[in-house]
Amino acid sequence: MKHLAVVGASGAVGEVMTRLLEERRFPLASIKFLASERSVGRSVTFRGERYAVELLRAEAFEGVDIVLSSTPASISRTFSPQAACAGAVVVDNSSAFRMDAEVPLVVPEVNPGDVERHRGIIANPNCSTIQMVVALKPLHDRFKIKRVVVSTYQAVSGAGQKGIDELRAQAAALIEGRPLPSPSKFSHAIAFNCVPRIDDFTEGGYTKEEMKMVNETRKIMGDASIAVEPTCVRVPVYNAHSESIMIECERPITPESARAAWVSAPGLRVLDDPSSGVYPVPTEVSGQDDVFVGRIRQALSSDRALSFWCVADNLRKGAATNAVQIAEELIKRDAFATARR
C-alpha cells in the first residue's frame, strides 16, 4: 500500500485522476490533494470521505511514495524535482521533462519497462501522442513503420475548463444571435470553426504541439528513424481527440493484417464496419479508457501503406488514465528503489 499525492487536484485532469484512482481501486495507504493557493480550502470527495485541498509546497511531499502531477510546466519544473528529492516517484503530466534524456516517457501499452529506469520522475506524454502510439506499436512490431502522416482533430477540453467554457459561450451566442464573445483561450473563435493552431509556432512553421508528436513518438517507440508529419487542429468538440493517420511501412500491410495485429493489442479496440455506421466518434468514445480505431483501409498509393481513424478520450487515456497506469506499473514492478535525480 502506497502513500499518494495528487498535484493540481482542482484542475480538469486532476479531477479525472482522482476519479480513476477510485474506479480502479488503486491500493492506497493514504492520499492527499495539493494545489495552488487559490484552490486551498476546497474539498475533494474520495471513497466517501472529504479531503481538504492542501497548499502545494515542498514539505507536503514528506512520506509520499507516488505523486500524480498535472500542473503547467513552469510549476512542474519547481515541484516535481522537490517531490523526487523527498523520496517520491513523480508521474508528471506536463511538458517539462518529456524530452529529458534521463526521464522515461511512458505509455504502458508501448514501453512499460521504461518505468524501471526512472530517477524519481516519469513523464506522461502529450495527449495526441499517447493515443497514436498505442495504435502504432502493434503495427510497428510487425511491419516496421517508416513514416506517419497524421492530422489531429483535438477537443477543447485539451485546453482545460477555460477551453470548454469558451466553446460553450461562443456557441450559445451564435445560436441566440448575440455578438460573439472575443476569443481568449484560442487564437480564433472556436464555435462552428476549426483552428489549425495548437500552442505557439516554431521557426520551421510547425506548432509546438506538432513537434511534440514528432519527438515524443520517436522517444516512446524507441526508434529515431520514424518520420512523423503532423498537422494539429482544434475543433469545436467538447471531449475526445480524433486523428486521421496514414502509415508507410517497410513490409506490405493490409487492413486484414492490421486488424490481426490490433485484435490482441492491450488498450485498443477496433470499431470498423463503415457500411453499418460503425467507426469511432468522440461522443461515443468520451468517458472510456481505450484507444479506438476504425475506417481501416489500404492506402491508394502503396501496398505498404495503410490509412485509419483513431479516437480516444484525451482527459482519460490522453492524460489521467495513462498517468494512473504508470503508477500501477511502478507498483507491479516494484520500481521504487532507483537512483534519484
Helices (H) and strands (E) in the chain, counts: 8, 14
- Label the pairing between strands 145-154 and 227-234: parallel
Closest CA to 321 of 156, 29, 168, 125: 125
Sign for the pseudo-dihedral over CA of 80, 83, 89, 91: negative
Helices (H), the chain: 12-23, 73-85, 127-143, 161-176, 208-221, 255-262, 282-285, 321-333
Beta carbons within 8 Å of 266's beta carbon, 6+ residues apart? 108, 109
d(CA 270, CA 278): 10
Grid cell digits, residue 266: 492491450
CA angle 322, 70, 11 (to 5 degrees): 110
d(CA 229, CA 122): 26
d(CA 277, CA 191): 26
Grid cell digits, residue 52: 481538504
Long-range contacts of 254-260 (CB under 8 A, 24+ apart): 254/298, 254/303, 254/306, 255/296, 255/297, 255/298, 255/306, 257/142, 257/143, 258/139, 258/296, 258/306, 258/308, 259/296
d(CA 327, CA 194): 35
DSSP, collapsed to helix, strand or coil, labels residue 340 as coil
291 to each of 25, 109, 277, how far by Cα in Å?
21, 11, 18
Residues with catalytic function: 127, 241
